[in-house]
Structures are given as C-alpha cells and as structure tokens.
A and B are shown apart, each in its own frame.
Chain A
Amino acid sequence: GAGVSQSPSNKVTEKGKDVELRCDPISGHTALYWYRQSLGQGLEFLIYFQGNSAPDKSGLPSDRFSAERTGGSVSTLTIQRTQQEDSAVYLCASSSQRAWGRSYGYTFGSGTRLTVV
C-alpha cells in the first residue's frame, strides 16, 4: 500500500484479556519495527524484523509480548494478559533495505491506541 497501515486505530480492553495489533507495511519494505509511546514519553523500541532473519526481540518488556511477521509482510503484535501499564500508543514502522551502511528513515503508521481498563 501507499503507507503503513495499522489496525485497529483504538482498542479498549479489560485487564487480563489478550489483544492483537496488526501492521501492514509499505510494499517492498523489508524492515518492520514496533515501538510504543506512553503519554508524555519517548518512543520505546519493542521488536524489529528484517527480511527472513531472526527478529530482534530485545525491546520486548516481558514474555507477555510477542510478535510475528508472516510472509515477510504483515505483522501482528500480541499482548497476553494485558495490564494497565500496557496502555500506550503502539506504533509500527517500515523502511527500505539499508545501503552503504546508512539507514533510511522509518515511515510510521498512524498507531493503535491501547487502553487497558
């Protein structure tokens, strides 16, 4: 597609429920990233997928968080047994293949606002 698409745009869930957030990156972008942004806070890295390589999961805050990327395209971030501290905006981004050691900037989706009540 023309941009990074995320769904749902808003999600309200009860504490303890599982949620799935979806990201459809820009066509042809090999790299896909998940970040989250809490109110008044910076962007917190969660997980990174690059092509067929093993994902970089170093930013996942707990084992309740997992993500997969199917067919090198669409990604799903799953949060199990949600807690109130999981409330944040979850942002997905994608980028082109790096060249000459330089990164290309990320293009972000519009985000999913998750509220755990």
Chain B
Amino acid sequence: QKEVEQNSGPLSVPEGAIASLNCTYSDRGSQSFFWYRQYSGKSPELIMSIYSNGDKEDGRFTAQLNKASQYVSLLIRDSQPSDSATYLCAVNEGYSTLTFGKGTMLLVSP
C-alpha cells in the first residue's frame, strides 16, 4: 500500500514569513513528485513538480526532494494571506497513478 503522509495542520505563519510544508512517502520507487494547492471549495491546482534530488525554485515557491530520506518539501517565501489553502503532496512511480497525501492546511495571517 503506497502511502503519502502529511501533517494535517493547520500551519499558521504571519504574513511575510517562510512557510515550510513537508511530506514523506513510502514507495522507494517513486519518481515523480508534485505539490498541489487547493482553496476551500475548489479543485486542486498544480503548483510545482520535481523529479530529481535537490531544490527547484519557481517564484516564491521552492520544492525540495530527498529520495534517500523519502521526503519532499515545499517552501513558500514571503507568505501572503492569499497563500492560505490546503497543500497536497502527490507522488507516483513510472506509469502508476498519483497517490495523494491528505494535505496540510496553511493559514497566513495579515
């Protein structure tokens, strides 16, 4: 049974701070890793993908992958109230379907 674990939160950070979201996965064969953002009442939106160990930056977002430790993280710099949402981690291996974590709720206070 493939598992993706996330702290449910909520993670509360003040505006302008760095938010750090973490995810661990059970399948060592996982090759593709994604972060989705889901606003309340909306569908998930893909914000980052990462495939190789290390960091990948896109604007205020940085995804970090460590396959040896089987964790992937998402850093959000200069957090804004509009970043308040649930962040879903998803992983898969080869041709399998994505396995999603249950998500971490992020609250950014003004």
- A contact set with B: CB distance below 8 Å: 33, 35, 41-43, 45, 48, 50, 56, 89, 91, 98, 101-111
CA distance A35 to B90 in the complex (A): 13
What are 28 contact pairs spanning A and B, CB under 8 A? A35-B100, A42-B88, A42-B100, A42-B101, A42-B102, A42-B103, A45-B97, A45-B99, A48-B97, A50-B95, A91-B43, A98-B94, A102-B32, A103-B31, A103-B92, A103-B98, A104-B49, A105-B34, A105-B36, A105-B46, A105-B49, A105-B90, A106-B98, A107-B46, A108-B45, A109-B43, A110-B43, A111-B43
Q: Which residues of B contact A (CB under 8 A)?
A: 31-32, 34, 36, 42-46, 49, 51, 88, 90, 92, 94-95, 97-103
Q: A43, A91, A107, A109: which has the most chain B beta carbons within 10 Å? A: A43
Would B44 and A98 count as touching, CB distance under 8 A? no
- 10 interchain residue pairs of minimum CB distance: A42-B102, A105-B46, A103-B32, A108-B43, A43-B100, A105-B34, A111-B43, A48-B97, A102-B32, A105-B49
| B65 smallest CB distance to A (angstroms) | 13
**Residue in B closest to A48 when the chains form the complex, CB atoms:** B97
Are B44 and A108 in touch, CB under 8 angstroms?
yes
CB closest residue in chain B, given A95: B98
